[in-house]
Amino acid sequence: MTATEDFASILTPEGKLAPTPAFEPFVDRVRGADDELWRTAYRQMRLVRAFDREGTNLQRQGQLALYVPAEGQEAAQVGSGLAAREQDAIFPSYREHGVAFARGLDLVRILALLRGVTNSGWDPAQERNFRNYVLVIASQTLHATGYAVGQLLDGKVGAAGPEEDEATIVYFGDGATSQGDLNEALVFAKSYNAPEVFFLQNNQWAISVPVSRQSPVPLYRRADGFGIPTVQIDGNDVMASWAVSGQFLDEARAGGGPRFIEALTYRMGAHTTSDDPTKYRTSDEEQYWRDRDPLQRLERYLRDQGDEGSFFEDIEAEAKDYAADIRRRALALPDPDPIDIFTHPYAEAHELIEEQRLAFLDFEASLEEDA
């Protein structure tokens, strides 16, 4: 789906700053930001891309059951991830490696999930409130709304100021907009005035279904029907993603209620390593988006700022080392003890689970007897 007159962007594919009219309300944020922030963003986006390629390699070599590439979506993800504050809650879908990295999650944890050696992923309380990945499309939007309503009822909204007040940001795809779950999440978020930013990455495809088949109107306009302020951004523009997410999170934290962002972007790779996109899309389309690559435009911008020293060479070297380190640590991940599957579903003892745990122990013992 193409850009509308409400399209908010500032960094052009050529790396120039040219705010669109719809970006005017956010432009001061970018003007007030230091280039150091954009260097940080570039480094993160570059390392995530290195992770992505290594993840695909590992799957091809039989070391992961599946890999879910995020290539092309780094700006939407890193920009918004950097905009969230420490105390905010992040609810990802399954492709948000860039948000995870910006948040400080060790990405090997994602590979552990895809290697099948962890029963759910990580403990969000230990990982700066970056919640677990989910595969059930749009289910996380309901979890996030419930959490955001909780933040509100706990008095964490519009109370102590931006340093302490909390908000929630939830990520989902264009395909998720066709699910009942998201629509219910929007209704409840608005009814309660929950401090929640709905971040849609419209990467143009829900596996092999184009977004044009899912909606006759641009997706950001759906939010109007729920009474939720909404904006469409260039999802390959890290500055736009950072500025609009930051602004909307601030407003949500202050008690302004939910906000909606549609980030227009593109999944450059396959849906997952089980998919072959050449079956349903053209190389011309892929080239169109390759020309709008989020890393390339930020690199152009940073180079235009003058002497970058060995910044880019250093990052290339770091990306190579990072990929090697990811591979080494992924291959060294220990297999879990099967009994652990009964340890964590509930925080407190649960009769049924305990029964199943004992049955499993009996079963294991019977295998030893047979041996």
Ligand X SMILES: Cc1ncc(C[n+]2csc(CCOP(=O)(O)OP(=O)(O)O)c2C)c(N)n1
Judged by CB under 6 A, how many residues of this single chain contact ligand X?
A: 14
Q: Binding of Mg ion at residue 237 (CB under 5 A)?
A: no
Which of ligand X, Mg ion, none does residue 156 bind (CB under 5 to 8 Å by kind)?
A: none
Give the DSSP per-residue string, 273-289: TT--GGGTS-HHHHHHH
Burial 235-259 (b: 16+ CB within 10 A, else e): bbbbbbbbbbbbbbbbbbbbebbbb
Q: Given the complex with ligand X, which of 159 and 207 has the nearer CB atom?
A: 207
Give the residue nearest to ligand X (CB).
173
Query: Of these, 152, 176, 249, 295, which contacts ligand X (CB under 6 A)?
Result: 176
**Shortest distance (Å) from residue 44 CB to ligand X:** 19
Query: Of these, 22, 83, 112, 137, which contacts ligand X (CB under 6 A)?
Result: 137
Residues 42-101 that bind ligand X (CB under 6 A): 95
Q: Binding of Mg ion at residue 203 (CB under 5 A)?
A: yes
**Shortest distance (Å) from residue 207 CB to ligand X:** 5
Catalytic-residue membership of 171: no
Using an 8 Å Cβ cutoff, are 197 and 228 in contact? no
Sequence-distant (≥ 6) Cβ neighbours of residue 332 within 8 angstroms: none
**From the candidates 131, 222, 259, 271, which is the catalytic residue?**
271
Q: What are phi and psi of 39, to 5 degrees?
A: -70, -40
Catalytic-residue membership of 267: yes
Q: Binding of ligand X at residue 156 (CB under 6 A)?
A: no
Q: Binding of ligand X at residue 140 (CB under 6 A)?
A: no
Give the DSSP per-residue string, 86-138: TTSEEE--S--HHHHHHHT--THHHHHHHHT-SSS---GGGTTTBPPP--STT
By CB neighbour count within 10 A (0-12 exposed, 13-18 middle, 19+ buried), where does 190 fall? middle
Query: Of these, 173, 257, 269, 294, which contacts Mg ion (CB under 5 A)?
Result: 173
Q: Binding of ligand X at residue 271 (CB under 6 A)?
A: yes
Q: Binding of ligand X at residue 207 (CB under 6 A)?
A: yes
Question: 3-state class of 290 per DSSP?
Answer: helix
Burial 35-56 (b: 16+ CB within 10 A, else e): eeebbebbbbbbbbbbbbebbb
**From the candidates 60, 280, 344, 346, which is the catalytic residue?**
280
Catalytic-residue membership of 53: no
Q: Binding of ligand X at residue 270 (CB under 6 A)?
A: no
Q: Binding of ligand X at residue 326 (CB under 6 A)?
A: no
Sequence-distant (≥ 6) Cβ neighbours of residue 27 within 8 angstroms: 10, 19, 243
Query: Of these, 136, 160, 339, 358, which contacts ligand X (CB under 6 A)?
Result: 136
Using an 8 Å Cβ cutoff, are 115 and 63 in contact? yes
- Please give the structure tokens belonging to residue 43: 């480094």
**From the candidates 49, 97, 259, 267, which is the catalytic residue?**
267
Q: Binding of Mg ion at residue 178 (CB under 5 A)?
A: no
* Residues in touch with ligand X (CB under 6 A): 95, 135-137, 173-176, 203, 205-207, 267, 271
Catalytic residues: 267, 271, 280
* Residues in touch with Mg ion (CB under 5 A): 173-174, 203, 206
